[in-house]
Structure 1
Amino acid sequence: MEDERLTAFTAEEVDAAWIRPLVAGVPTESLSPEMMLIMLQQRLRGLDSQIAMETKGIQEAAKASEALSELIQGMAALRDAMAAKKKKSGDDVNLNTFAFTANGVEYNPAKSFLIEHNIQDLVEGTYDADGNLVSVEDHMTRDVIIGKIETLQLQQRTINSGNEMSMVRLQAAIGQRQQAIQLTTNLVQNMNQSCLDIIRNTK
């Protein structure tokens, strides 16, 4: 059960009490071993929350990046299939007249790939009430597909870049957690040693 005495401290007070012995090198009179452990509990709770949040964000971003990779591969397969139909990238290709395979799945006709993966903003299409693509025009140029691939690649780079920053923050929080435990352990040991020294000197 959480120690109710923690509620008596504001975040600023806890931080100030936490930093003071670190800067001064010695505990103040108000910082007993028990109080240090209480503040450690408070400190770890905040860091654990940050670690959990960063970890969740990293996992979600990794899934999004993986999904984009599969989508980019599928779009590239469609691009290549269109190139086999028309040599010039600016020529119209009828997506309703051929099939192609992407990521082990055959799409017949080719335009079914765009509908199944809800690829929007390419050409005129029809959408349902939720904004999902339900039909698309048959004709499209390879240039349009190439442009969409570049857009998806940019989205993926943005996600990956953000994920790298999240990993840096995660590592920093883990380091702070380890430091907090080590600092508290050292301070409590020093306090206990000081008490033992006082007892010895009184004998």
Structure 2
Amino acid sequence: MQIQAILENIVNDNVLHSKWLNTLSYMENAGAKKISASEHKEQVNLIILKHAAEEHRHAYYLKKQLDKLDGDLCKTYTNDELLTPNHTKFYLNALDVAVCRYLKEEFDLIGCELKFAAYLFVTYAIEVRADELYPVYQDVLTKAGSKVNVKSIILEEEGHLEEMINQLQTFSADWEKHADVVVKMEQNMFADWIQNLGKQVS
């Protein structure tokens, strides 16, 4: 099932839509926590703080969008309030582990340097995904006449992607080669996630 068709099924059902918003909120929050966990104890620049803060804000914003749907749903991130909860919770962690393993082999990094490199590449891959997913979701929302809106997130995610590219260019002259590998990892994991999502909402 195509992403747009999946999202149309979700948006047309308030319970599914609530869980979808909550799932996106969970993932944004998980991403923010990953960013904070990757921080050096002292060497923390403004971009990292900004990025973590904005990801937390996205999690909050998506959670607040639930008020625009009927019902009193999804107060927490428990499994019954998420879509494909096991795959959702596995997705970002699995990508992080795979990328760390790859970067350790390619750059011989350990400790804080490995954490920071993983932050750069994982975040880049996630921002590429966000740049694809959120506009499709917004199109579905607009066509459905939904009160839910993610336009502000789309704008900020575009800015995040540009910031990640700038940091990756500083990190390595060959960053694109390695980023392509990481993006392929993410694509495989996302394909598995979206397949399971499609089964749940069809």
Please confirm whether the aligned pair reaches a TM-score higher than 0.5, indicating the same fold: no
Higher strand share: 1
Higher helix share: 2
**Greater C-alpha Rg:** 1
Task: Output the TM-score relative to the length of structure 2.
Answer: 0.30
